[in-house]
Amino acid sequence: MRFQTLASQAVLAATLVHTTVALAQTGANSALQRRCWQTYTAERTAADLREPVSVSFGNLKNGYTVRSPVWVEFGIRGMGVVPAGTAHDKAGHHHILVNKALPKHPQEKIPFDDSHRHFGKGQTSAALELPPGTHTLRLLFADHEHRPHFVFSPEITVSVAGKRDSTAPRIDERNFDATCASWYQDALTTPRTLPKEVYLKNVRDGEQVSTPLRLSLGAVGYGIAPADKAVKDTGHFALTITQGGKAVARHVWNDGRTESVLDLPRGEVELVPALLGADGKPLLQGELLRLTVGTRPAL
């Protein structure tokens, strides 16, 4: 991780050229929807440091009911992301095993078929087409030759209710818990619409959060790669934190990481994610998110 001066932060903010829309992607635009979204904030941002290297679905859990196409977000801790074909001993790329067990021989390359979905461009997320019914999913991280690092997520089971042209779930205040859960699962897995953007995956504008917290970053239209690998159509993440109109910190993840645990200043803060090229110049800037930060209760 690299920290830069407040002056360099101001230069970055002045030169970044692309903005995104994040809150609208969730559909969390009514009082009930905002209340529902906030219900799950602590779960989405919980800092878990028990496993130094692990992969996980950022927006899917076992037992979710979703519609197809399903937006799937990939999380990786302890390693970076880099496209296939680019060797890096501390980075790799994601695969999804669909209705498929882990490979028996870890040295064999992961095959290319419908049961082994490859994301060799360094993607942090993808829209997955699945037929109606029950499906098992597992993330598997692999090297530049598609050989597993044998860093993999737990297998989860999701139910696909139908296509996205069906009626979306709605929240009913009289049955809030159940209808909130249905709406939330659908909102989390709704595909993003912009062709290029950088965004914070697990927090939204106006949320109340506790620190320290886990922040997960995503990009659409670009892959991720460490700064020392100049791969076409890739970048690495940066985050500027401001409070009271002044920049207080800037984090740059040169190693291709997509998640980090941060201790944010208490009170009202603003976060602006960005995607930088291998030369350190800005490719995309995300929208500014305002968060109210408190202290995470002790266990």
| pTM for the predicted model, two decimal places | 0.87
Range of the domain at 110: 51-188
Say what the pLDDT of residue 61 is. 97
Do 263 and 138 share a structural domain? no
CATH of the domain at 248: 2.60.40.10
Is the model more confident about 81 or about 296?
81
- Could you tell me which residues are beta bridge partners of residue 75? 56
* Shared domain check, 208 and 286: yes
Domain closes at, from 132, 157, 188: 188
Residue 77's SS3 state is: strand
pLDDT tens string 29-61:
699 999 999 999 999 999 876 668 899 999 999
Q: Each residue of 241-298: pLDDT tens digit?
A: 999 999 999 999 999 999 999 999 999 999 999 999 999 999 999 999 999 999 876 6
Amino acid at 240: T
Residues 199 and 280 in one domain: yes
Which two structure tokens, joined as six digits, stand for 185? 């699962």
pLDDT beyond 50 at 111: yes
Query: Residue 239 in 3-state DSSP?
Result: strand
- Of 155, 188, 221, which residue is a domain's last? 188
Separation CA 235–CA 250 (nearest Å): 17
Give the domain-ending residue among 131, 153, 188.
188
The predicted pLDDT at position 23 comes to 38
| Rounded Cα–Cα distance for residues 84 and 140 (Å) | 14
| Residue 288 belongs to a domain | yes
CB 289 within 8 A of CB 268: no
Mean pLDDT across 124-141: 97
Distance (Å, rounded) from C-alpha 135 to C-alpha 65? 11
What's the whole-number mean pLDDT along residues 105-125? Answer: 93
